[in-house]
Chain A
Amino acid sequence: MSVIDIEGLRLGYGGMAPEQLVLNGIDLHIDSGEFAAIVGPSGCGKSTFMKLLSGLLTPQEGQILIDNEPVTGPRSQVGMAFQNAIMLPWRTTLDNILLPLEVAPATKSDFRHRKAQYRRQAEDLLTAVGLEGMGSKYPWELSGGMRQRASLCRAMIHEPPLLLLDEPFGALDAFTKEELWLVLQTLRQHRTFTVLMVTHDLTEAVYLSDTVYVMSARPGRMLVRQNITFDQPRDLDIRFEPGFVSHVHDLREHIRGTRAQAAAKPVVGATS
């Protein structure tokens, strides 16, 4: 059963003229519990796509169904985490994680009532991501990797069926990144949820996902869909197996192709 159904999605900033078009006809179906990754050249509209899914933007054409209901505005069905794990510096880590419950219309009214229960939930999540007992620390007392773990907890505290990750590990060093991949896997064993992740890291995309989509240069379309069929959870060493490497290589070739196309139009197109 699909969690996300997208048909003929088109969006332009300011109008639908070719140069204003950001997304041009996206069709996408993501199953419940699936981990999907979107890769593509920079500026292809991946982040815009994420905003559409969270209801912060509405498309001019086409529609997005989440759980068979059209997305017309923000709803607390999604959890979000970004590359920049911003936390409120005046709140402890635990209070930062509880923030979504404090403001979401569904849980806001009885937040005070059920705070003890929510705190336990948050502490469980912290334990799951390897931050046991760190709830009382302030964000500036945490390292970058720890902050990103906490921001995953914040994205999941209201148990959203869909998690949107916008280059979540982009700013982390290679080893911390690997640790967080494992954290994400652990969380998915904990509870079933669908993930849609935008990333520049092809290894990351193949390692974590069930499906990887390659997006074209602007205006964005989904060019290729690749199924990754290795069993979950995966061992970190799988990255060095020939099957894995050939997946990464294929994706790389596709992206190189789209970049070459984009570069053929204007003169400069080479930013990474």
Chain B
Amino acid sequence: MTTRTQSTPATATPRPSRLRHWLGWFRREEAMSFWIIIGFFVVWEAVCHLFSLPVYFLPPPSVIAQAAVEFQRALMINSIQTLWTTMAGFGFAVVFGLVLGVAVGGSRRLYRGLYPLMVGFNSVPKVALVPILVLWFGIGSVPAIITAFLISFFPIVVNVATGLATTEPEMDDILRALGASKLDRLLKVGLPGAMPHFFGSLKVAITLAFVGSVVSETVAANSGLGHMMLMAQANFEVPLVFAGLLALAIEGVLMYALFVVIEKRMTGWAFRAQTAQQ
């Protein structure tokens, strides 16, 4: 911020006051998302009052906020439960996705062999699997973790495999002509080159993992946001259902943002290389 103001000629604009400085932020491009979110809730609130919608149909954000304060303990506990099952499932998906992605991306034979099976696996609705998981592991965190894992590993596998497949053929020729081992080519060129794809896929996978764990909690669990929303719905606590949804959305956005930061950190070269190309 300060460098911005310094870089403009001092004679043209006098040093802005602190207040103007802050107001300036709200006019910048980065602030757009802030305004959109505010606008979204304002319109929501207005629609509820304008059409005098009953609270049990669509509660306005103000009522949802009240419910959130009232049930803050339950919201907190269940949010943490959902967060940890999601992260656990996602963690397994990352490890498994990387390993399978490397295997599939490294071998054409394996790629052609495994792809149909994986697509088939991915096409099965995960809700349909939850009853089977309950049969095997009982009700609780385990089915939620497994569902989160099952739903989020696919994009990781596909992206890692694609990233490996996009290694430049000339680079591979150079290394092969030197007598480099397959492992070296993978570790020095293939994997680092696939990292932008990998980290990009994590953003997709983490949001999917939330979907998985909540789906499972809704069907078979004693805790978690999915379970809490189901209970609230049964008790006609509609504002709490919406508060649960909002809590989920917030967790999803925060985790997504976290992985954007990690992506920029780990593969900043990809962004800089792109902007330098043109």
Contacts and interface: CB of A to CB of B under 8 A. Distances in A.
A155 B173 CA distance: 12
A139 B273 contact: yes
Contacts of A138: 269, 272-273
Given A88-B171, A158-B178, A103 B184 contact: yes
A88 B193 contact: yes
A103 B171 contact: no
A51 interface: yes
A58 to B, nearest CB: 13
Interface of B: 168, 170-171, 173-181, 184-185, 188-189, 192-193, 195, 267, 269-270, 272-273, 276-277
B177 A55 contact: yes
Contact of B270 (A54, A73, A89, A100): A89
A104 interface: yes
A80 B177 contact: yes
Report whether over half of chain B's contact residues are helix, strand or loop; otherwise say mixed. Answer: helix
22 contacts: A74-B176, A74-B177, A75-B177, A76-B178, A80-B173, A82-B173, A88-B171, A88-B188, A88-B189, A88-B192, A89-B273, A90-B192, A90-B195, A90-B267, A90-B269, A102-B184, A103-B175, A103-B178, A108-B184, A138-B269, A140-B272, A140-B276
Interface of A: 51, 54-56, 73-76, 78, 80, 82, 84, 86, 88-90, 99-100, 102-105, 108, 138-141, 154-155, 158
Contacts of A76: 177-179
Contacts of B193: 88
Contacts, number: 73
A86 B170 contact: yes
Contact of B176 (A56, A86, A89, A158): A56
A103 B190 CA distance: 13
Nearest to A107: B178
Contacts of B181: 103, 105
A84 B185 CA distance: 19
Closest 6 CB pairs of A and B: A140-B276, A103-B180, A54-B177, A89-B273, A140-B273, A90-B269
A56 B179 contact: no
Contacts of B174: 80, 100, 154-155
Contact of A78 (B170, B177, B180): B177
B179 A75 contact: yes
A90 B184 CA distance: 16
B277 A74 contact: no
Contacts of B175: 99, 103
Given A76-B179, A99-B188, A56 B269 contact: no
Contacts of B184: 102-103, 108
A240 B168 CA distance: 39
B192 A100 contact: no
